[in-house]
Amino acid sequence: MIALTAAEIAAATGGVLRGAAATEPALVVSGPVVVDSRDDVTGGLFVALPGENVDGHDYASVAVAGGAALVLAARDVVGAGGDVLPSVVVADVEKALGDLARVVLERLREAALEPGGSDLRVVGITGSVGKTTTKDLLAQLCGSVGPTIAPVRSFNNEIGLPLTVLRADESTRFLVLEMGASGPGHLTYLTDIAPPDVAVVLIVGHAHLGGFGGIDAVAVAKAEIVQGLVADGVAVLNADDPRVSAMASLAPGDVVTFGAAPDATVGVRDVRLDRAGRATFTLVQRAEAERTAEVSLRLVGEHHVHNALGAAAAALAVGLDLDQVAAGLSAADALSPHRMHVVDRPDGVTVVDDSYNANPDSMRAALKALAVLAGRDRRSIAVLGEMLELGPDAREAHDAIGRLCVRLNIGLTIVVGEGARGIRDGANHEGSWGDEVVLADDLTVATAFLESELRPGDVVLVKSSYGAGLWKLGDTLVEGGVR
């Protein structure tokens, strides 16, 4: 975080100085902002967030002992000797964290406009599918030309986004932010903290339907990121999704489109997949004159072409040229864990760990990638768990995935947990027979069954919502724990 005094943090958050901070308001906080006392917080700010199972206030003294200069808290926090720790006490810690990030970003934008400033550009990315991968791709593209800050893993909510903003400093050239929403108003809250210069909308899909009430409501909520742009901001919209392209009317400034549509500003031609499921294609920039460049992705799955186009369109919008974008995409790797992480084990088994999250769109994409990887000479195994937060359409959505497993000729499907039973039922209704589809009561049963079945040459996909817990099996498989 940029250096701020305790008094400045109190002013930004509407808080009251307590402990040593009250007698020394000029105390400087220049280290990181953290919510976990186990992280390095030397000279920084410890944010004492209350939680369902753990209350950060209980760890404030640990953080200060570890080097924290100041605590952001909702009540007085005391050290081992009973003294009130140096702190800013606020009514709502989570809101105060967002307020602090807003003020810091405003200061950074002002500094960026000064002579010799960084010319900071903020990019926000949202969509029902592909946010984290697109964020990772764009961060690598931007990072090749200037100092770039982007979220770790999938820090895309009311806590993760402010923490990401607060990692930026006066040298930051690009601030890439992932913005998630599980209900109306969530993106408005995030864009109020960090209004983007460029807003990317990937797709309106079937994720978190339970929190919205229907896909049209998802579209309205995703459009909040476009409405949250700065006054002359650029909207980067998926030309292949009519719900997304319709958001152009809400854009305050220029609109850039991407996709397979022939009139997309950033388009694609001649997509080819190699034997490992990696795509090569011609990237097309349609401006005053059409330009093209070849891209060969390292990521596995044809669906990543769409993510790459979104990242390319955003990168072009913030000033990179086409050749830089094409070279950067071809060199980019998958950065976040449990997201189409492909590992070839020494025993001949290939693991595709895509267990961080799941919805009908991402599940279909992962299964198609599995089918390509396995081809005709290897057995495909799909270990599938529940897709959460789908609301009243959950049963039908799981049924459709089971039917797709049969249509893709998946060799063995292991369905984990009662919530995912619809996958087994859908496969049976589509014509699966014998032992092609197995329902396991829980992860322990699924792991034991897979251990008895797995053999050299198999290609195994692990896919579910994070809350279903299949990421634990993903870790085990990648580490080679299941033979």
86 and 67 in contact (C-beta within 8 Å)?
no
Give dist(CA 235, CA 227) in Å, integer.
9
| Annotated binding residue 130 | yes
Start-to-end CA distance of the chain, whole Å, equals 45
171 assigned to a ligand binding site: no
Rounded CA gap, 156 and 130, in Å?
Answer: 13
Secondary structure (3-state) at 180: coil
> HEC profile for 354-377?
ECCCCCHHHHHHHHHHHHHHHCCC
62 annotated to bind ligand: no
Q: What is the dihedral of CA 366, 372, 375, 380, to 10 degrees?
A: 0
Tokens linked to 213: 């009430």
Instruction: Transcribe 87-140 into DSSP letters.
Output: EEE-S-HHHHHHHHHHHHHHHHHHHHTSTT----EEEEEE-SS-HHHHHHHHHH
Collect contacts of 19-22 with beta carbons under 8 A, ≥24 apart.
19/76, 19/83, 19/84, 19/85, 19/86, 19/87, 20/85, 20/86, 21/70, 21/86, 21/87, 21/88
Annotated binding-site residue? 127: yes
Report the amino acid identity of residue 282: T
Binding residue per annotation — 265? no
Angle at 435 between CA 432 and CA 437, to 5 degrees: 55
CB 391 within 8 Å of CB 210: yes
Give the helix, strand, coil percentages of the chain, each rounded to 5.
Answer: 40, 20, 40
DSSP readout, 265-280?
Answer: SEEEEEEEE-TTSEEE
Name which of 389, 358, 388 is nearest 213 in CA terms: 389
Query: How far is Cα 56 from Cα 73, in angstroms, rounded to an integer?
Result: 8
CA atoms within 13 A on the CB side of 173: 15
Q: DSSP assignment, residue 292?
A: E
CA 14 – CA 196 distance, rounded (Å): 24
Please enumerate in sequence order all residues whose Cβ is within 8 A of that of 444, keeping only pairs 6 or more positions apart, or say none: none
Annotated binding site: 127-133
Q: Which residues does the annotation place in the binding site for ATP?
A: 127-133
